[in-house]
DNA sequence: ACTCAGCCTGAAACCGCTTCCCAAACGATA
DNA sequence: TATCGTTTGGGAAGCGGTTTCAGGCTGAGT
């Protein structure tokens, strides 16, 4: 069993109070005593018991990050940003995700049971957002919600302004690239991201004086494969001067480009293709993808930052931070990089 | 402040011992009393204080996962596997990674300070593996090491048999595909993965009676871009009947294929390209990549499984689990999928 | 010499929970 | 009725820290 504060005290020939004072530097301690205690600590390679400490301090130095899923580059980027920020602020990161089949209750209990997080940063799936409020409130710790809001609990939030990102993309296509016709390839119709991007697409078309064709809109499932298959069928009919495909994520854009290659439709010359998200693949295909950078890593970092701030200062008013999604112009839109 | 066990006891009109017994179901409690206590718990929405509990039980239900970095699909896959397994075994996952500039000491202290993990699963970078042993031993918790071994501490380990994966690939190229010449594009010469794969490449060539040309070997930095640039220069000279490129990871393989496309060298007809790792891009390029699947997610899961087992049973003999890397035949090797 | 700050140090309470040890209550048996 | 075993519930001792409070020692002021 590891050494306790009492062992240190005995070895240094002082009381445990003094040892505690040396460790926490909260009160005056004679310099020589201090040295003796520190020597004893080293000698026994003593480290304070985190439970006992937490019991008094009511703080663990751990913040939780709860995600709906761990698949995909998104979540790993969030985790990465969160981890960096957490360490910067002297906290550790507890990670959990919902499992298929979890309901809100059992999902949260996984973290809640071990009620030793000082705060929780969480992203909820569309299907769960409704039920979690009350349970969350019981947890009685600061909450930061990622890219959403939750009813029934006070919480900080960090959201990504996708609207504006999609708008920037459409503006770029219509104004800078001189698009004459734009096809839209979205994810599932029920997906809120798809919906947001679709709305911007439709409105922008109207504002630019272009006709909106219902048959120019497709709904797939966000995967490369689905887009590839679709492209094999239809890419020939899409091709044309100043014709564009706006895919709702990079994977689908990549699939479309691959399909176009297979059908000898040249991208971006005969058909330009743009994506969304700016995931790693965007740089790894030919031509490199014009897309919208969604700052997931920054979102993770910001969430943790808000959280730690709030832990330190519980009475602060709830805050909502909005992060910008930024247009990234590469070659797949064919405009050669002009941006304004 | 949240309700304590004493509040529950008072409300249920019993002693705290009884409440504790109800919670832990460790001793006989009259059924009616039990009901009363449970009602009180619900009423106060009481949850045991994790610190106090941990203090007695000397268990937090948290296991740590420490990685050298969080960039890239590898690590996110490890985390995913670990998370699933941890929840399965009723534990939570604390994640940390080394930061650029960390030395072994400060790196570990980030986790060590909050000495409340029940065990640690860790992957160490080449540069750190030397120094961590002693520090680790002081932590005095079960350790599982991923894909490596550490001197000076007793630990379980889970490793991936890359040797055998690379061998399977070379066998496939030489025997099934009838390769006449194979180029090797590795990562940095100092990287141990590259070294292992290179060795297999060289030996296999010899065993197959093919000449080994020093100038057929390239060392890049594992990135798409470096491989793309190289390919633009040299892909023409690589092309030839039954000529192959064995890239040490999928990203570089993707870069080479893109470069070949740009130079109108047809893959796999004029030049076949294979990769390693089986990351997501492998399925997202044309032609889909023949590669070696490295089971990162499974490695994470296995590590946590070993860890939890050992936490439950500290006296078990240290164990070393080896995971197989599996050949995945897609189209980029041009053999049409025959496997034996 | 006596008093009184001012600096250090130690004793002890407390955080919330588990668990050991006992006592009370109860029914069964002699 | 006395004795005994079996449930059932309570009291209290820790677990290893932090913090409050009181007091000892020192040196300066009178």
Q: How far is the CA of A266 from the C1' of C7 (A)?
A: 83
pLDDT score of B74: 82
Mean pLDDT, residues B152-177 taken together? 92
CATH architecture of A162-294: 3-Layer(aba) Sandwich (3.40)
A302: its two tokens: 């910001």
pLDDT score of B257: 95
pLDDT score of B160: 92
A82: its two tokens: 């969160």
Give residue limits of the domains in chain B: 5-48, 62-161+296-324, 162-294
Angstrom distances, CA of residue A22 to CA of A11, A29, A136, A288: 14, 7, 38, 58
Angstrom distances, CA of residue A188 to CA of A162, A224, B82, B122: 17, 14, 29, 38
Chain A residue numbers touching B54 (CB-CB < 8 A): 50-51, 54, 116
Query: What DSSP element (H or E) covers A165?
Result: helix A162-171
User: Do the two domains B62-161+296-324 and B162-294 of this chain adopt the same fold?
Assistant: yes
Decide if pLDDT at B326 tops 90: yes
Distance CA A84, CA A89 (A): 9
Mean pLDDT, residues B131-147 taken together? 83
Mutate to test the interface with B, among A76, A82, A257 (most CBs of B within 10 A): A76
Chain B residue numbers touching A70 (CB-CB < 8 A): 76, 79-80, 83
- pLDDT band of residue B339 (cuts 50, 70, 90) is very low
Q: How far is the CA of A205 from the C1' of C12 (A)?
A: 76
**Sign (positive or negative) of CA dihedral A165, A167, A168, A173:** positive
- Reduce the DSSP state of residue A183 to 3 states and report it: strand
Distance CA B132, CA B151 (A): 8
Distance CA B236, CA B231 (A): 8
Q: Is the CB of B317 under 7 A from strand D?
A: no
Give B40-54 pLDDT, tens digit per residue: 888 888 889 999 999
Query: What DSSP element (H or E) covers A247?
Result: strand A243-247
Length of chain B: 340
Contact with chain B for residue A287, Cβ under 8 A: no
Mean pLDDT, residues B77-99 taken together? 89
List, in sequence order, the alpha helices (H) in B89-220.
Answer: 104-113, 132-139, 162-171, 192-207
Q: Min CA distance, A99 vs chain B (Å)?
A: 8
Give B288-322 pLDDT, tens digit per residue: 999 999 999 999 999 999 999 999 988 888 999 99
Fold exhibited by the domain A62-161+297-322: Rossmann fold (3.40.50)
Those nucleotides of strand D lying less than 7 Å from any protein Cβ are 7-12, 14-20
Decide if pLDDT at B340 tops 50: no
Those nucleotides of strand C lying less than 7 Å from any protein Cβ are 7-12, 14-20
What CATH number labels B62-161+296-324?
3.40.50.2300
Q: What percent of chain B has pLDDT over 70?
A: 95
Q: pLDDT (tens digit, 0 to 9) for every residue of chain A, 340 residues total? A: 788 899 998 888 888 988 898 888 777 778 888 888 888 888 888 889 999 999 999 999 999 998 887 777 888 899 999 999 998 898 989 988 877 777 766 777 666 666 789 999 998 877 777 777 777 777 888 999 998 888 878 899 999 998 899 999 999 999 999 889 999 999 988 888 899 999 999 999 999 999 898 999 999 999 999 999 999 999 999 999 999 999 999 999 999 999 998 899 988 889 999 999 999 889 888 889 999 999 999 999 999 999 999 999 888 889 999 999 999 999 999 887 544 4
pLDDT score of A340: 45
Fold exhibited by the domain A5-48: 434 Repressor (Amino-terminal Domain) (1.10.260)
């Amino acid at each position: 069993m590891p050494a306790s504060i009492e062992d240190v005290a005995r070895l240094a020939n002082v009381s445990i109070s003094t040892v505690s004072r040396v460790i926490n530097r909260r009160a005056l301690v004679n310099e020589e005593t201090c040295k003796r205690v520190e020597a004893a600590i080293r000698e026994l390679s003593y480290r304070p018991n985190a439970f006992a400490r937490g019991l008094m301090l009511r703080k663990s130095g751990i913040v939780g990050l709860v995600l709906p899923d761990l698949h995909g580059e998104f979540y790993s980027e969030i985790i990465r940003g969160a981890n960096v920020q957490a360490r910067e602020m002297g906290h550790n990161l507890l990670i959990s995700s919902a499992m298929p089949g979890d309901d809100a209750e059992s999902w949260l209990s996984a973290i809640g049971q071990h009620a030793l997080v000082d705060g929780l940063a969480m992203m909820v799936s569309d299907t769960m957002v409704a039920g979690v409020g009350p349970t969350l409130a019981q947890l009685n710790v600061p909450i930061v919600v990622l890219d959403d809001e939750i009813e029934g609990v006070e919480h900080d939030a960090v959201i990504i302004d996708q609207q504006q990102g999609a708008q920037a993309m459409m503006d770029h296509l219509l104004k800078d690239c001189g698009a004459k016709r734009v096809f839209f390839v979205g994810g599932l119709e029920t997906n809120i991201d798809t919906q947001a991007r679709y709305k911007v697409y439709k409105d922008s078309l109207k504002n630019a004086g272009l006709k909106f064709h219902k048959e120019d809109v497709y709904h797939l499932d966000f995967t490369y494969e689905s887009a590839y298959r679709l492209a094999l069928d239809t890419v020939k009919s899409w091709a044309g001067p100043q014709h564009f495909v706006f895919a709702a994520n990079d994977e689908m854009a990549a699939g479309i480009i691959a399909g176009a290659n297979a059908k000898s439709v040249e991208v971006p010359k005969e058909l330009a293709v743009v994506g969304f998200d700016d995931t790693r693949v965007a740089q790894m295909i030919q031509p490199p993808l014009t897309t919208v950078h969604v700052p997931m890593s920054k979102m993770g970092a910001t969430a943790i930052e808000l959280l730690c701030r709030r832990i330190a200062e519980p009475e602060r008013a709830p805050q909502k931070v909005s992060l910008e999604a930024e247009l990234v112009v590469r070659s797949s839109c064919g405009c050669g990089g002009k941006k304004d």
